[in-house]
Structure 1
């Protein structure tokens, strides 16, 4: 059974089951007819699936006593059989008639049982017309306009037409003909039992995701406990060292009884050291297993929310085909990446933007067959709608082989409407000119029709995509085509975010809205008209205090570099100054209670891996707040010119033969304010460390010439270096490997398997404290 079909069918009536069957088979018929018309492939293999679909509908309709559908399906079978034997060419006009039959079958199938007799009687004339057209399809004159859809009474929402969120609803139900979309009627007494309401299902999903997220957070709570055990182990090690020294002192004395007691105490301490190592290793192993299970649970819950891309776009090929036919054009839509998984909420919200883009492509870009032939193109136009996952995001591209957009016409329209002077307009790039198409009431059409020309469309597309934390980009090549690229998060339930500190509190910024993260040196900050800025790639970027934007007070003017998050785009780009950059995290989004309404600059909330609550910033709101703040003036001063407060910076030596690991550790430590030197192996590290001046050594184990264990032993045996803290960072995480490192004198043993940014930094801070004295 298909994963989209309900597992338990006993709750449905025969009429419900027929409705599901009709939905699925009519989709096969629609897709088959459009494919056949596009490819002109009249082979038996191409027609066979449609014959099977029509035959299945005929049999199912006979079971539930729908003679009308039986006759329709039988007539379509005859047409397919004739085409299969080469006796009938399925021209576009004949495809029109067959598609009208598909629409009729769907509408009859979706009628409520009680309302069916009246609905069929009211549309008897149109029904007879459609059936006659199918029966006489071989004798149709050319050209023939497609018959109008039968005006049947709207069908109630039943088991086959509920929201995709309901687990018992078939996912493949095609929408009605674009010429007439039935509206759901109120539920009537005696109607078949329906699945849970979408809102109920959504609430259950949100609760399940919340619980899964909490389980992951609880798993992360083991990490602080393991760190405490590591600290206890180090204290224990110091105590045992003192105990050994005490025993050596006593052993040099003459008191035999005291010697015996001292030796006994020393012997009893050894199992304690080994037990601590074993407990820490067991806790770390348990932490990894729990994190894996919790992460898998979150992933599985999110998978429940994902739907294949086809579920949201299956009506578009038919819509494009019918729309083009009505305008005297020949255009087909090809969908690529139908199996790409998309969050069901995103899929529902992007249906309207995609509809706008496709209609614009047919109306603006595609010419008639004669116009295309004059331009040296095939008479049949092509649009490609492609969806795929790229770099953790959903990428949707709509491209056509039409006429494209004349950039000079945009430039002229910009000047005519007073949006820019001639000199400024002449300097605008192609990308900047295309951005004007996103403005409300901006259209290049000379006259409006029911499809486009009123300046409504791309502005709605842009706003809708922006609300989903996505971006949209336009490209055009005059005479060759137009391309729209949309990038969206894979899901709105989990957001990849940059976590920052602002006035001692954690805040998150969706990573898709972050252009860059950097540190700005004090001497790179300039002031002009009470506004502070710095220059990046010949662009002046204004500095704005995040604390001031959020009404959290004034930031303390520091003497070091300013952590900066670059947000915005084009001429509206700003550098948001924060207290510190924590790093990236995947956050399970929690909607704010509706009682708060829409909070300024805040979009949602979440919990960090350590259980700390965090507010997710609304970047478009932030940009509006920045504009308002700049207009009002009074920006806080962020940089301080005097450098007299600079303190001594602690130095760290990183020893690792892997360039990648070495550079990653170096950048992490530099970002925290430490001075960092590197060595490429143990010998290089030993030579460097003997030069003195380091506060910490971070070393790998497996290295050429001199491994990390030997390096640690040399340092701890050296008269001048034995107090220098040493941290081992290694892929080896077996208890015996850890025991070797600690026995050699390492003060900390960190495994790369459980390594992440904060782990290393926390360990460094635990050993030597902050970067500055």
Structure 2
């Protein structure tokens, strides 16, 4: 086991197994069945065996008790009783606490005892036996350790990894003379071969031994050149592999914080006597631990508040036509150089009346002040110390939840956004700049320079003939997927203010999706895809807005990573806002109003639109939709047709008849697919008509990008 630290490898294994048990218990709570039970049994059994090997009896006993609860449920789909789930969670917490105690640094090794005098004749030579690793005593159940989803035994610190990456970069740079030496050796080899050929052709002009020596020299130089080149290539590949692994350790998957948040939701729901499901997305997005760790701590408060303040008791949900089980959704997205963390719930939303009373009691609203708008009230939540909970409990009521998010945003130079719809739910978003992220990029060459485009922004690529490239460059547009997209040769923006090198012209177009819409850049050639780690540009190296970050090649050379949003801005600056389907990204789209009497449809459409970056407000009837449209500014109205009272056709007609609203774009979404209904929609003034039976998310978003009004 290693003389200095007999628990070294057990700590590594135990922490990993505890994480698997934590996630497995929460899986079992939501999806009972023999498969998750069997998986948990295997993990618990492995932990029990490992603990017994290193004489950690307390951990082994709890793992055994864990097994005892699960064994009767190895067959059948019946869920575990509530008491059994609580006992599993309690045992899991105690095991985690035990493992956390073992992770404390071991005490310094005691000095060697002084030599004992030699034993007298006939006396046994006795030395004290080294004690076995003592089990950690537990006098009472202990609380689980503070969540540490991003660090564990054996994980190198960020500074250590940065030093390693710097050392690899320096070593790669030092390899440059060796690479040059390979070229020199190859040139010498070719020269020796040429000399040998000349001597052989000269026949008797030179003695035979000289000719033989020249041939031997050429052969030896060729052999040495191959060995030298192979050795250098092997070293470079090894360094590249080490660099890639170190970069991977430097970044952490966002899913590493999901188990902690999921457990927080489960515990809060159990404390409040509610049924709540936790949904997560974006687990594979990798970023620096220094971003994930504070975000995790902040959203622990947010998800608890979503359960306690947002999710209604079951009878109240059923009365409102909602599922008995509430849902808290946590998502992580990467948007260019930004990371977005979003927590949303399908509960009652913020209690605006209670917020107004609390703000007045705290002196945030004066008695003579005009009533604040809903948005202003929600902004007050971010000022801290405001809670609408009537009592302080273990999970909420102190008004510190939004404080934590606000502080993290300030710490990481980010932004917090809060949205709420009464009766529909609330959303809290944290947007922070990325300092290091992993991505797959499309490498392109333009004007002799190589750059990388984030692959998740690439919609497609087109091969262009010389005539097509010339036409696209002169017109500033290119035809793609049936519509004209703005077009700009990449070399023109890479070499702003300089003469573009004389290299082969544009041979391909890369079509990009961005917030503004669809655009295309012209490149000389496509160079394939590669995984990379992007870093921010140094403060002393300002660059064009089309550059988002930089990646470092294996040989230490930097490669520019392009920003699709910056490219869109440049395209519009050169060609104007009417150049194609894109609109100025500097102008934020106004909120979209979704009108539908079906809760399911409203929530689905809201999810689609919010995922695409739009703010969304909801109305459950045509009458409510018309009232909201008259009270606020919207960039677009998305409405169902068949609704009680004012139907979708009538709603669009009344919007068109109102001088204040007549310019608001309207899209009808309906299960009616007949030509007569489509014609009636056009006659009413609808700008687009989408059939639910033929529903295409991309088609809907394309209509909205084309039509939505921006502030």
TM-score (norm 1): 0.42
Which structure has the bigger radius of gyration?
Answer: 1
TM-score (norm 2): 0.46
